């Protein structure tokens, strides 16, 4: 018999004891010479009543905890939006708990879209949309000594990384052993080797950055790391500082902090995972918003997705390491120590899968050590070095940054001229005022106001709420010297014909012709209706 249970599942039949009866009926149809699976499914639907999926959205959403407090009208409006989306998401049957962080803000308009600063706990399931397309967006810090000036070090940063659309050209690629891992037979990673290769030492755009600053290694900081079980980092700092650690102010080291995710590699994994989740969820549930679709981690496909996520985690760390090693070599710096953390990811604790969309893990690891975290607030404010408080009330997370009270578009609205064009002079002046005394670089030369301190919540407010809600202990700060971000690269590459291949140009023309055809057909349909 060629017709199988998989054919039933693909045909939308939920797994149930009825499968035995359905397969027996299918065998009888095949014995009569009917072998087309689609026709067999049609006949089975005629003769058997298809059961409704078992799972539906909860009528009442689960409650969620809020580690956030409004301090102004904009805050209040923003939090109302966050609550609306969290209430939609927490009707999902597989989700068990939820929390929002001090940097929370809506991340989209689709129903049940997890907000930035949102976290959920899910039993034996992964919601791809809850970690978003920027899988494993993360922080990484190298503490080092260097005799160069701030300007020279930022020149070295510029030479070590890359920002913007696309990836590195073949002649400019960076190798790392992570590319040699034998993971490409995983169905979610198959064929993505090129994306893995082209995006190493590549940071993309948006809020991703390379931040240069200073950190004070005091005796109190080193002892806090030792007490928390981070012995290697504490020992690295102690050994390099020596007797200087006993000075009143300790020892000041330079620090490079990078922020980025898994680039095109992760984006493709997300698309595949989300598509598979929508398909799998539709088999066993109904009325589930696309943003709430999940994969069962105990199924073969769910296990494969989990394995793919683990590789993405290793690849993203390798991406950070590649940028940092290139910088250390170019600047002649000597590394003291390094550490980092993810904040857009899925983590497993027991049978619970913790999802964070812009949320820093702040629990204790399997060895009982409070996790070490990096929380940036804006390019002109210190980056906080934290040890997690493992506060279960808020799913043991902390914020991943400062968050926004309004969208990038809304931020730019205040800098438009009467004719609707952006006032570039005012934008430049606002960025300069917000970053006085710092060496701020933009990879594309033109500043992006929405990624300057103007675009974010006040740093002091977010820091205060970390302490207010006991999310993490702040044990050190990286104070800013300068920062590199993508900046305003102008129109998207797919709108700039000089950046497109002949094939891409033909595709654009083809799509334009199709749009014209559809518009023409619509026009004549409307005329027919009028007649």
Torsion over CA: 184, 186, 191, 196 (sign): negative
What pLDDT does 505 receive? Answer: 65
Question: If you average pLDDT over residues 131-158, what whole number do you get?
Answer: 97
> What pLDDT sits at residue 247?
81
Provide the whole-model pTM.
0.85
Higher-confidence position of 165 and 467: 467
Please state the rounded mean pLDDT for residues 158-164: 96
User: In terms of pLDDT, which residue wins out, 506 or 382?
Assistant: 382
Q: How many residues does the chain have?
A: 531
Range with the lowest mean pLDDT among 12-16, 162-166, 283-287?
Answer: 12-16
Give the C-alpha separation, 23 to 27, whole Å: 6
CA distance 510 to 512: 5
What pLDDT, on the 0 to 100 scale, is given for residue 529?
A: 38
Q: 374: closest CA among 468, 257, 252?
A: 257
At 243, is the pLDDT very low, low, confident or very high (cuts 50, 70, 90)? Answer: confident
Whether the per-residue pLDDT at 525 is higher than 70: the answer is no
Residue of 353, 289, 357, 375 whose CA lies nearest to 105: 357
Q: What is the pLDDT of residues 285-330, one digit of tens each?
A: 999 999 999 999 999 999 999 999 999 999 999 999 999 999 999 9
Q: 283 exposed, middle or buried (CB, 10 Å; 0-12, 13-18, 19+)?
A: middle
- Give the 3-state secondary structure of residue 476: strand
pLDDT value for 526 = 42
> Which residues does 64 contact at the CB level (< 8 Å), separation at least 6?
86, 90, 97, 98, 99, 100
What digits encode the pLDDT tens for the residues 28-71? 999 999 999 999 999 999 999 877 777 999 999 999 999 999 99
* Helices (H), ranges, 127-171: 128-131, 150-160
Task: Characterise 191 by phi-psi region: left (phi > 0), alpha (psi -120 to 50), beta (else).
Answer: left
Contact 406, 449 (CB under 8 A): no
The pLDDT confidence band at residue 494, using thresholds 50, 70 and 90, is very low
Q: What is the pLDDT of residue 69?
A: 96
Instruction: Judge whether residue 531 has pLDDT over 60.
Output: no
Q: How far is CA 457 from CA 435, 450, 463, 525, in A?
A: 15, 12, 11, 50
Provide mean pLDDT across the span 223-232: 97
pLDDT, residue 528, reads 39
Element (H, E) at 388: strand 383-388
**Nearest Cα residue to 120 out of 165, 81, 64:** 64
Among candidate residues 404, 410, 378, the one with its CA nearest the CA of residue 457: 404
In percent, the amount of the chain with pLDDT more than 90 equals: 80
Q: In whole angstroms, what is the distance from residue 51 CA to residue 46 CA?
A: 13
């Amino acid at each position: 018999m060629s017709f199988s249970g998989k054919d039933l599942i693909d045909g939308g039949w939920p797994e149930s004891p009825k499968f035995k009866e359905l397969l027996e009926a299918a065998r009888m149809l095949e014995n009569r010479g009917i072998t087309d699976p689609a026709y067999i499914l049609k006949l089975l639907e005629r003769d058997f009543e298809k059961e409704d999926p078992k799972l539906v959205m909860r009528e009442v959403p689960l409650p969620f905890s809020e580690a956030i407090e409004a301090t102004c009208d904009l805050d209040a409006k923003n939090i109302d939006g966050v609550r609306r989306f969290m209430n939609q998401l927490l009707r999902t049957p597989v989700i068990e708990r939820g929390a929002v962080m001090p940097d929370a803000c809506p991340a989209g308009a689709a129903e049940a879209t997890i907000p930035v600063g949102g976290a959920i706990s899910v039993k034996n399931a992964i919601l791809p949309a809850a970690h978003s397309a920027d899988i494993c967006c993360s922080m990484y810090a190298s503490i080092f000594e260097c005799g160069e000036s701030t300007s020279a070090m930022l020149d070295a940063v510029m030479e070590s990384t890359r920002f913007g659309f696309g990836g590195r050209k073949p002649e400019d690629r960076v190798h790392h052993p992570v590319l040699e891992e034998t993971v490409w037979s995983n169905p979610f990673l198959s064929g993505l080797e090129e994306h893995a290769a082209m995006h190493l030492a590549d940071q993309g755009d948006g809020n991703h950055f390379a931040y240069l600053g200073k950190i004070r290694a005091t005796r109190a900081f080193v002892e806090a790391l030792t007490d928390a079980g981070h012995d290697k980092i504490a020992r690295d700092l102690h050994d390099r500082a020596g007797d200087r650690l006993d000075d009143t102010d300790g020892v000041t080291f330079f620090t490079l902090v990078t922020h980025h995710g898994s680039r095109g590699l992760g984006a493709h994994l997300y698309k595949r995972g989300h598509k598979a989740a929508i398909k799998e969820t539709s088999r066993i549930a109904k009325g589930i918003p696309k943003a709430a679709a999940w994969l069962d981690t105990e199924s073969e496909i769910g296990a494969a997705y989990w394995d793919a996520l683990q590789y993405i985690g290793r690849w993203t760390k390798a991406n950070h390491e590649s940028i940092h090693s290139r910088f250390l070599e170019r600047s002649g710096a000597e590394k003291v120590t390094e550490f980092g953390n993810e904040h857009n990811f899925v983590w497993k604790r027991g049978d619970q899968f913790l999802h964070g969309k812009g949320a820093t893990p702040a629990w204790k690891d399997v060895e009982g050590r409070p996790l070490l975290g990096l929380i940036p607030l804006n390019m002109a404010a210190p980056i906080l070095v934290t040890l997690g408080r493992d506060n279960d009330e808020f799913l043991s997370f902390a914020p991943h940054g400062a968050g926004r009270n309004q969208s990038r578009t809304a931020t730019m609205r205040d800098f438009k001229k009467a004719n609707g064009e952006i006032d570039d002079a005012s934008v430049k002046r606002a960025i300069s005022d917000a970053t006085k005394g710092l060496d701020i670089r933009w990879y594309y030369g033109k500043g992006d106001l929405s990624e300057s301190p103007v675009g974010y919540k006040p740093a002091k407010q977010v820091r205060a709420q970390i302490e207010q809600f006991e999310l993490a202990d702040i044990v050190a700060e990286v104070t800013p010297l300068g920062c590199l971000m993508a900046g305003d690269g102008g129109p998207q590459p797919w709108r700039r014909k000089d950046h497109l291949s002949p094939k891409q140009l033909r595709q654009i023309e083809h799509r334009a012709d199709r749009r014209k055809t559809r518009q023409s057909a619509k026009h004549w349909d409307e005329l027919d209706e009028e007649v």
